Amino acid sequence: QVQLEESGGDSVQAGGSLTLSCARSEAITDITYMAWFRQAPGKQREALAAIHTAGGATYYADSVQDRFTISRDSTFTVTLHMTNLKPEDTATYYCAASRSWSAVVRGVIQRFAFDYWGQGTQVTVSS
């Protein structure tokens, strides 16, 4: 059973925008945070943005603070709106869900606190 499913990945030119969506299965309950990560070939998985599912507070990595926006479209859907995309944004983007109240500590997203992961969606940005 697919528990988290990403969609919206595409190939775009530098400067363009893209919105990714993450649909969460109703079977996953008691989720405190939803987040987006990405991983480029040969690099570690990087946290990008997180949102508290109840209060709606958002947190961002410094590298995407001014360009990416995470939002909660519904109880079971989270989106990541990306603007001014750069070639270095090319990666596989993953949605994740956490049941931990410590998934974000002092504004820093804790990768290992996330319990569920999607399969990923590819974003390619050409110059």
Closest CA to 125 of 27, 26, 35, 13: 13
25 near 116, Cβ under 8 Å? no
Residue-wise pLDDT for 27-77, tens only, equals 888 999 999 999 999 999 999 999 999 989 999 999 999 999 999 988 889
The fraction of the chain above a pLDDT of 90, given in percent, is: 91
Tokens found for residue 47: 């946290």
Token pair, residue 36, equals 């987006």
Is the confidence at residue 2, as pLDDT, over 80? no
In angstroms, the CA 18 to CA 16 distance is 7
What's the pLDDT score for residue 29? 87
